[in-house]
Amino acid sequence: MSTKKIVSIQDISCYGQCSLTVALPILSAYGIETAILPSGILSTHTGGFKNFTFLDLTDEMPKILNHWISEGIRFDAIYTGYIGDARQFDLIRQAKEDILNPGGLLIVDPAMADYGKLYTALNEDIVLGMREIVREADLILPNLTEAAFLLDTRWKETYTKEEILQIAKQLADMGPKTVILTGVSYEPGHLGAIAWQKESEQYTEYFTEWIPKNYHGTGDVFSSVAIADVVNGKDIYTTLKDSCEFVVKSIRNTLPDESHGYGVKFETVLAESNL
């Protein structure tokens, strides 16, 4: 049985348990050979840290990509996350064209916003570029704020089930075959994710206990587990269950350490998982 190969296109936050420092260990632990095409290097992530440094790698990315093309290197999936420069969307398109195997998946986590606001240092050009790239994706994994930006609608703190389903359908109408919406809650005390599969018109949901504590990087943890399951051929219910439960375990693992507010301790959860 051949090993699946994936390339993740997103930033390296050198400290803070997010983006590639989350995606690389999780995908690898799930048995997927993982390469990286870093979009930039940050000293820390942009949430809660001040005076962080940022090195834009837009000019270096084509060199890496062209070397892979010359070597005949190809992948079963491309997983995009935080994009810091709108020029990088064209590089994602080139990667889809030149290094994605026939039948491979373009998976987009539009990591750009939360709680109604764009992340620090991002602008409207990123939103416009993200709207276009999701049209070419097979799977997208936005949170509800990102969904609002993609659809150019107003974000709300609460949604009904009917509204959530309508959002998922509208996102699918943009192009992706499957939409996974995260941060969904229909009742107090429960939080989870839903999926809408356009071709089969299948709605799937999974909810866990809502732990009233916010940590950076939980979206990256969720997406990395979900993408690992998808690439490994798991069904959509198992994908939602595994991802939600992994995030909750990581949060519970972090709660006792009040000084650890910049991310979740996913590493020991990963080590204890029976993958």
pLDDT for position 49: 84
pLDDT for position 218: 94
pTM score over 0.85: yes
Sequence-distant (6+) residues with CB within 8 A of 27 are: 6, 8, 34, 79, 224, 227, 228
Alpha-carbon distance 257 to 268, whole Å?
Answer: 14
Residue of 134, 157, 25 whose CA lies nearest to 83 = 134
User: Residue 97: pLDDT band by 50, 70, 90 thresholds?
Assistant: very high
Task: Report in angstroms the alpha-carbon separations of 187 from 30, 158, 159, 191.
Answer: 32, 9, 10, 8
pLDDT for position 63: 98
Annotate 71-86 with b (16+ C-beta within 10 A) or e (fewer): eeeebbbbbbbbbbbb
**Regarding predicted confidence, which is higher, 261 or 107?**
107
Convert the pLDDT of each residue in 139-161 to its tens digit.
Answer: 999 999 999 999 999 999 999 99
pLDDT beyond 90 at 81: yes
pLDDT for position 1: 57
Convert the pLDDT of each residue in 166-214 to its tens digit.
Answer: 999 999 999 999 999 999 999 889 999 999 999 999 999 999 999 988 8
Residue of 193, 248, 195 whose CA lies nearest to 221 = 248
Tokens of 157: 């703190």
Mean pLDDT score of the chain: 95
User: Residue 275: pLDDT band by 50, 70, 90 thresholds?
Assistant: low
Sequence-distant (6+) residues with CB within 8 A of 37 are: 7, 8, 9, 61, 64, 65, 91, 95
pLDDT beyond 70 at 124: yes
pLDDT beyond 80 at 274: no
Q: What percent of the chain has pLDDT over 70?
A: 99
pLDDT beyond 60 at 86: yes
pLDDT beyond 90 at 239: yes
φ and ψ of 57, to 5 deg: -105, 20
CA end-to-end span of the chain: 17
DSSP one-letter code for 59 = T
Convert the pLDDT of each residue in 35-61 to its tens digit.
Answer: 999 999 999 988 778 888 999 999 999
